[in-house]
Structure formats: C-alpha cells, structure tokens
Amino acid sequence: MKLFKPALVAVALVSVFGCQQEVKKEEPAVAVLETELDKQSYGLGASIGLYMQRNLEQHSELGLELDKSLILKGFTESIDGKSQLEQEEIQSLLMALDQQMKAKQQEQIAKKAEDAKAEGENYLAENAKREGVMTTESGIQYEIITEGEGEKPAATDTVKVHYTGTFLNGEKFDSSVDRGEPSVFPLNHVIRGWTEGVQLMSVGSKYKFTIPSDLAYGPMGNPPRIPGNSVLNFEIELLEIQKPEPVAEVGGNDGHAH
C-alpha cells in the first residue's frame, strides 16, 4: 500500500490555488471539451481528482473517513482565493494527517503479521499429517510430484527452474510459468527455504514445498506483496544446473589464475 503523500497533494493543490483564477459562478452540467486548451484544463482537474480518489480510498480502508464535500469546498474556495486556512496551517494539518495514516498502516501491518503467524502455525501442523508430506530438520515440508534422475545442485550452483508461489489460501503471488520463461539464479542468493529445498531435488524433479516464514521472508515479509510471518507454498521444477565456467589460466608458473 502506498503511503499518503501530503506534500505532493499540497504542491499540486497550492500550484493550482496560486493561480487564483476566476471561477464562473454558473458551471454547465456537462463540461464541453471543444479545444485542446479545454481538454488540458479538464485534464488538470481530473488528474488531481483521480489522485485524491486513490488517497480517499486508502484513508477509508484504514478507518479515516474524510469528508469529500469539505475537500471540494476547500478546493473551490482556495482556487478562487478565498481559503479559510492559511497555507502554513494547511501544510501542518496535512503533515498531521500523514502521521495518522502511517500509524494506522503500521497497526494494520502488525495485525496482518500476527494473523499470518497463527494461520501459518496451524497450517504447518495440519499439513505435516498429510500422506506423502515429508519434513526436514529445519521445518521445510515437501512432497514429490515428479522425481527426476539428474544431478542434485549444491548451494553454490546456479539453477534454472520453473516455479509458482502461492499463499496458504491458494492465491498466486509469483509464477515463472505464467511469465512463460524459467528463472535462473544462484541458489545461495534466494530465501533460505529455497536454498535448502532445491538441493533435495534432482534435475527433472518437480516438488511442492511449504516453507515456514522464518525460512522465507520472516516477520518483516516482502512488502508490498508478502505480509510478515507468511508461510508460503511453492511448486518448483528443477530444469537445469548451470555450473560456473572454469577460470582461464593467465600466466604464472604455479598453474593458477591470478
């Protein structure tokens, strides 16, 4: 979730207010956009309106119900040079609102992380009882969908895989399969659950892993997509192990590259 940016709103609105253009007392019910300048004028207002709409929705989600009629009143009075508040007071009020927004967001993040922890613990306990599910010493749960016969990677290897990641409710958050292109990465540069889990696989294998949060993204999660304390499911197919190219020898009598 994007944070409310009062400074941006203030800049956008003050820049418009500063013009202090005369506003017609009687506006047509429907704007007539005949010229390019008409469209640009309308577009400026629409861009501010769309920006405010998104922020109003974010505030509402956090229980901060702002009065749209007063927002419109503040806009129209200020653009006509008749604001009831001084610019310094407006900026102070917006900063205070921003702090409220951030505090509410932190409360929401903490609540989601707490809920995810309890849900994850229950899921792991039940999932471990299912037939075919094995659990490593570290707590990773896995089941074999297809067992390959190729080599197994080391933690220092680079692997090519297809994968799909889902939350416990089945919602997909990432998938190389959907992108139509395998992912390639050093196995020791990913979450610990992947580093350990993929080493269990032979090339050609496809496993389903359930990774505890402490072996995934931990209490902080991976904002904005993955909440803290999330237990994650991955279906991983190991396509290839890419060994590092041997370093060419460059001179020297000891037979080693320098």
Check: CB of residue 74 under 8 Å from CB of residue 62.
Answer: no
Does residue 173 carry a catalytic annotation?
yes
Does residue 51 carry a catalytic annotation?
no
Does residue 234 carry a catalytic annotation?
yes
Among the options 51, 123, 167, 173, which is catalytic? 173
- Strand (E) or helix (H) holding 142: strand 141-146
- Residue 156 and residue 159: Cα distance in Å, rounded? 10
The closest of 203, 204, 209 to 152, measured between CA atoms, is 203
Among the options 71, 123, 191, 214, which is catalytic? 191
Does residue 174 carry a catalytic annotation?
yes
Among the options 4, 234, 236, 241, which is catalytic? 234
Among the options 75, 217, 226, 236, which is catalytic? 217
Among the options 98, 109, 157, 174, which is catalytic? 174
The closest of 7, 10, 23, 8 to 81, measured between CA atoms, is 23
- Residue 25 and residue 69: Cα distance in Å, rounded? 18
Among the options 163, 207, 209, 226, which is catalytic? 163
- Residue 125 and residue 119: Cα distance in Å, rounded? 10
So which residues are the catalytic ones? 163, 173-174, 191, 217, 234
